[in-house]
A and B are shown apart, each in its own frame.
Chain A
Amino acid sequence: MIIRSSKHFIGMFLLLLSALIYSGCNRDAAPDKKTATDGSRQLVVGVSLMNLSSEFIVLINKAMLESAKDMGIKLIITDAQRSAEKQVQQIETFIGQKVDAIILNPCEVEASSPAVDTAIAAGIPIINVNSATKSTPTAFVGSSDEESGRIAMEYIVKRLSGTGNILIMQGYMGQAAQIKRDQGADEVLAKNAGIKVLARQTAEWDRAKAMSLMENWIQTFGSKVNAVYAHNDEMAMGALIALENAKLKDKIVVVGVDAIADAVQAVKAGRLDATVFQDAAGQGRTAVKLAVKIAKKEPFEKETFIPFQLVTKENVDKFAR
Chain B
Amino acid sequence: MQCPSDKSKSAMLAYVLKQYGIVIALILICTALSFCSPHFLTWPNLITVTRQISLNGILAVGVTFVLLTGGVDLSLGSLVALTGVVAASFAHPGDYPLIIPVMAGILAGMACGAANGVVITRGRVAPFIVTLGMMTIARGLALVISGGKPVSNMSPSMTRLGGDFLGLPIPVLVLCGISAVSWLFLKNVRLGRYIYAVGGNENAARAAGINVNGVKLLAYTICGAMAGLAGVILAARITTGQPNAGLAYELDAIAAAVIGGTSLSGGIGGVGGTLLGALLMGVINNGLDLLNVSSYYQQIVKGIIIVGAVWLDRKHGK
Contact = CB atoms under 8 A, between A and B. Distances in A.
* Chains A and B belong together in one complex: yes
Interface of A: 52-55, 58, 170, 173, 199, 201-202, 206-208, 211-213, 215-220, 234, 237-238, 241, 245, 260-262, 265
What 6 pairs between A and B have smallest CB-CB spacing? A216-B289, A58-B148, A202-B295, A219-B45, A207-B238, A262-B152
Nearest to A263: B152
Contacts of B147: 58
A202 B147 CA distance: 27
A308 B286 CA distance: 35
Interface string B211-233: 00000000000000000000000
A217 B291 CA distance: 10
Most interface-central of A55, A213, A237 (chain B CB within 10 A): A55
Nearest to B149: A55
Interface residues of chain A: helix, strand, loop or mixed (majority): helix
Contacts of A173: 295-296
A207 B242 contact: yes
Contacts of A261: 149-150, 152
Contacts of A234: 242
Interface residues of B, number: 36
A34 B312 CA distance: 69
B87 interface: no
Nearest to A199: B292
A219 B290 contact: yes
Interface string B238-253: 1110111101000000
A245 B292 CA distance: 22
A262 B290 contact: no
A265 B152 contact: yes
A265 B244 CA distance: 20
Contacts of A212: 52, 285, 289
B238 A53 contact: no
Nearest to B55: A208
B237 A208 contact: yes
Nearest to A61: B148
A268 to B, nearest CB: 13
Nearest to B234: A208
Contacts of B245: 206-208
B163 interface: yes
Given A202-B295, A208-B234, 10 more contacts: A53-B139, A53-B148, A54-B244, A173-B295, A201-B292, A215-B51, A216-B289, A217-B289, A220-B37, A237-B238
Contact of B48 (A199, A215, A260): A215
A241 B286 CA distance: 18
B167 interface: no
A202 B285 CA distance: 13
Contact of B239 (A58, A199, A241): A241
A265 B150 CA distance: 13
A24 to B, nearest CB: 22
A167 to B, nearest CB: 10
A213 B293 CA distance: 12
A220 B292 contact: yes
B148 A55 contact: yes
13 contacts: A53-B244, A54-B148, A55-B149, A55-B150, A170-B295, A201-B292, A201-B295, A207-B242, A219-B44, A245-B163, A262-B240, A265-B152, A265-B153
A86 B296 CA distance: 28
B240 A207 contact: yes
A219 B296 contact: no
B132 interface: no
A164 to B, nearest CB: 18
Contacts of A201: 289, 292, 295
Contacts of B237: 208, 211, 241
Contacts of B188: none
Contacts of B234: 208
A241 B238 contact: yes
Contact of A58 (B51, B149, B163): B149
A211 B152 CA distance: 17
B143 interface: yes
Contacts of B314: none
A243 B23 CA distance: 32
B42 interface: yes
Contacts of B45: 219
A173 B237 CA distance: 25
B152 A238 contact: no
A261 B51 CA distance: 27
Interface string B11-49: 000000000000000000000000001011010110010
